[in-house]
């Protein structure tokens, strides 16, 4: 029988009040927290600081393209360097302004351009102007300000993949030798293929200099985590083996410090909820499962219908064969599922594109295999997430659920 809501709530709140305290300062584990010490990033910090140093002397510096896998410290290192740069520039009376924009968070060309213009004191409405008009107001303000503006475009791939590189092109063409103001662009991306989206003329200007952030190994992750644990958790609450496990899980995947920190936080929350005293290895395993479930569910829910159909086709084929499946077989199944739903199927080329997106989202694994000297090349696909989770998440869509029933 279901528990009475009152007693259920009492139980939860009692645990919160009387259970042992797990965290001292949980915010230290959140994504926007900027730690005062960044381990293993001295080379990158130094490179960026050297590259920006001329600005303090009133000289222009090169544009920089920063890249590396997710969670390798690109954002946090860049933010630290530019905030120190701004402080030192202010103190030295150097005419430098910095503007940090996260292109994924802003979400559109308009909002990115508005953000740049606002840094220079322009009052830009939330909607109503054309991007061109916002950009014009920005350039007018820039050239009358007599400053060097350092623009950081973080997660720049999100802007370019959706809107193309027009805005970037306009930004890279702003500098004029005789002008009193100038602009330095710092682009940050974790998408290795980002450069392919750029026209050569934009690419060559953006990546005058490049700084690479390599993935952390397990030993480095353990040190990063240990430093954070002492700020975030009560003393002795996290077992050292639990920290090691977080580090080795993330180290063996993509060397992602964010994911390692998330694992620790989620494990801490699980312990807090259960009223237990210590974060153990088991809690880390549990946290990993919880996070995988949330990730898969969220990503699948956000897919457009035809991507869901392609994924359903992958699932369908795999449930039958239990092995990798050729993309042509998946396409055949996708066409038949589309027919069942009465929707027009996309071309096989489009479906290959959707498969590529699904693989970027970590839902499927797609690789090209060669068949002998004359056999040609075929794309083979398998699932990159637990089948049951994907199936459940797909079934949350009433239309797709019809196909499974
Ligand atoms: N060297 C480090 N020392 C301490 N904490 C770090 C270090 N590197 C990364 N972190 C932490 O890991 C998390 C991820 O770092 P960050 O946001 O800078 O990654 P990123 O490279 O920008 O990733 P993405 O490409 O996904 O944007 C942050 O919470 C950050 O504080
Ligand atoms: Mg980042």
Ligand 1 centre distance from Cα of residue 76 (Å):
6
Does the C-beta of 44 come closer than 6 Å to ligand 1? no
CA 107-113-119 angle, to 5 degrees, is 115
Does the C-beta of 41 come closer than 6 Å to ligand 1? yes
Strand order in the sheet with 64-68: 96-102, 148-154, 182-189, 64-68, 209-213
Does the C-beta of 97 come closer than 6 Å to ligand 1? no
- Rounded to whole angstroms, the Cα distance separating 259 from 267 reads 12
User: Pairing between strand 325-326 and 377-383?
Assistant: antiparallel
Atom of ligand 1 nearest to the CA of 154: 27
SS3 297: helix
Q: Which residue has the tokens 């360097």?
A: 81
Q: Do residues 404 and 319 make contact, with C-beta atoms less than 8 angstroms apart?
A: no
SS3 363: coil
- Rounded to whole angstroms, the Cα distance separating 173 from 99 reads 18
Nearest CA among 193, 184, 108, 179 for reference residue 146: 179
Instruction: Collect all residues with Cβ–Cβ distance below 8 Å to 143 and sequence separation of at least 6.
Output: 179, 180, 181
Atom of ligand 1 nearest to the CA of 40: 1
- Rounded to whole angstroms, the Cα distance separating 297 from 319 reads 19
Count of CB atoms within 10 A of residue 31's CB? 11
Does the C-beta of 72 come closer than 6 Å to ligand 1? yes
Beta bridge partners of 149: 97, 183
Atom of ligand 1 nearest to the CA of 220: 1
Q: Do residues 108 and 158 make contact, with C-beta atoms less than 8 angstroms apart?
A: no
CA-proximal residue: ligand 1, atom 25 (nearest): 70
DSSP 184-250: EEEEEE--TTHHHHS-HHHHHHHTSEEEEEPPP-HHHHHHHHHHHHHHHB-TT-B-HHHHHHHHHHH
Give me the pLDDT at residue 142, please. Answer: 96
Instruction: Collect all residues with Cβ–Cβ distance below 8 Å to 251 and sequence separation of at least 6.
Output: 216, 217, 218, 219, 220, 221, 260
Which of 44, 75, 156 has the most ligand 1 atoms within 8 A of CB, as the residue to mutate? 75
Give me the pLDDT at residue 253, please. Answer: 84
Centroid of chain to Cα 110: 21
Which of 257, 261, 265, 360 has the most ligand 1 atoms within 8 A of CB, as the residue to mutate? 257
Does the C-beta of 261 come closer than 6 Å to ligand 1? yes
Does the C-beta of 73 come closer than 6 Å to ligand 1? yes
Does the C-beta of 259 come closer than 6 Å to ligand 1? no
Instruction: Collect all residues with Cβ–Cβ distance below 8 Å to 104 and sequence separation of at least 6.
Output: 154, 155, 158
Q: Do residues 361 and 311 make contact, with C-beta atoms less than 8 angstroms apart?
A: no
pLDDT tens for each residue of 122-177: 999 998 899 999 999 999 999 999 999 999 999 999 898 888 899 999 999 999 88
Q: Do residues 358 and 315 make contact, with C-beta atoms less than 8 angstroms apart?
A: no
Ligand 1 centre distance from Cα of residue 358 (Å):
25
pLDDT tens for each residue of 89-98: 999 999 999 9
Instruction: Collect all residues with Cβ–Cβ distance below 8 Å to 159 and sequence separation of at least 6.
Output: 103, 106, 109, 112, 153, 167, 168
Centroid of chain to Cα 100: 16
What average pLDDT is seen over the chain? 92
pLDDT tens for each residue of 343-391: 999 999 999 999 999 998 889 998 888 776 666 788 899 998 889 999 9
CA-proximal residue: ligand 1, atom 27 (nearest): 70
pLDDT tens for each residue of 277-318: 899 999 999 999 999 999 999 999 999 999 999 999 999 999
- Rounded to whole angstroms, the Cα distance separating 307 from 31 reads 29
pLDDT tens for each residue of 14-70: 877 877 789 999 999 998 888 888 999 999 999 999 999 999 998 889 999 999 999
HSE, side-chain direction, 13 A CA sphere, residue 149: 30
Does the C-beta of 142 come closer than 6 Å to ligand 1? no
Q: Is the pLDDT of residue 405 over 90?
A: no
Q: Do residues 147 and 181 make contact, with C-beta atoms less than 8 angstroms apart?
A: yes
Ligand 1 centre distance from Cα of residue 79 (Å):
11
Q: Going from the N-terminus, what domains does the chain have, and what CATH number goes with each?
A: 5-21+216-299 (1.10.8.60), 42-213 (3.40.50.300), 303-404 (1.10.10.10)
Instruction: Kindly give the interhelix angle for 348-360 and 327-341, rounded to the nearest 10 degrees.
Output: 100
Give me the pLDDT at residue 193, please. Answer: 76
Ligand 2 centre distance from Cα of residue 157 (Å):
11
């Amino acid at each position: 029988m279901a528990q009475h809501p009152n007693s259920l709530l009492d139980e939860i709140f009692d645990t919160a009040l009387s259970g042992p305290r797990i965290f001292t300062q949980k915010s230290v584990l959140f994504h926007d927290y900027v730690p005062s010490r960044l381990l293993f990033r001295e080379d990158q910090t130094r490179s960026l600081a050297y590259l920006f140093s001329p600005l303090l002397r009133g000289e222009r510096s090169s544009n920089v393209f920063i890249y590396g896998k997710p969670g390798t410290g690109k954002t946090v290192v860049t933010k630290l360097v530019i905030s120190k740069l701004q402080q030192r520039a202010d103190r030295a009376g150097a005419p430098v302004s910095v503007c940090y924009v996260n292109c994924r968070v802003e979400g559109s060309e308009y909002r990115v351009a508005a953000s740049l213009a606002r840094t220079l004191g322009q009052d830009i409405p939330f909607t109503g102007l054309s991007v061109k008009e916002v950009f014009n107001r920005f350039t007018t303000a820039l050239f009358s300000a007599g400053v060097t503006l350092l623009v950081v475009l973080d997660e720049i791939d999100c802007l370019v993949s959706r809107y193309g590189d027009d805005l970037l092109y306009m930004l890279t063409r702003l500098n004029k030798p005789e002008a009193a103001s100038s602009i330095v662009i710092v682009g940050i991306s974790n998408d290795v293929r980002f450069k392919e989206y750029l026209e050569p003329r934009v690419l060559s200007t953006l990546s005058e200099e490049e700084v690479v952030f390599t993935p952390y190994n397990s030993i480095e992750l353990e040190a990063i985590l240990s430093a954070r644990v002492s700020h975030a958790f009560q003393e002795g609450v996290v077992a050292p083996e639990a920290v090691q496990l977080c580090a080795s899980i993330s180290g063996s995947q993509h060397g992602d410090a964010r994911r390692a920190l998330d694992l620790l936080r989620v494990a801490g929350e699980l312990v807090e909820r259960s009223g237990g005293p210590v974060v153990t290895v088991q809690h880390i395993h549990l946290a990993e499962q919880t996070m995988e479930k949330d990730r898969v569910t969220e990503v699948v829910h956000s897919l457009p219908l035809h991507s869901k159909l392609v994924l359903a086709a992958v699932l369908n084929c795999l449930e039958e064969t239990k092995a990798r499946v050729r993309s042509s077989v998946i396409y055949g199944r996708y066409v038949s599922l589309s027919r069942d739903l009465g929707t027009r199927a996309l071309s096989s080329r489009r479906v290959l594109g959707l498969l590529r997106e699904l693989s970027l989202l970590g839902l499927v694994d797609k690789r090209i295999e060669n068949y002998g000297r004359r056999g040609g090349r075929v794309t083979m696909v398998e699932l990159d997430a637990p089948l049951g989770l994907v199936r459940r998440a797909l079934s949350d869509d009433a239309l797709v659920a019809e196909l499974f029933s």
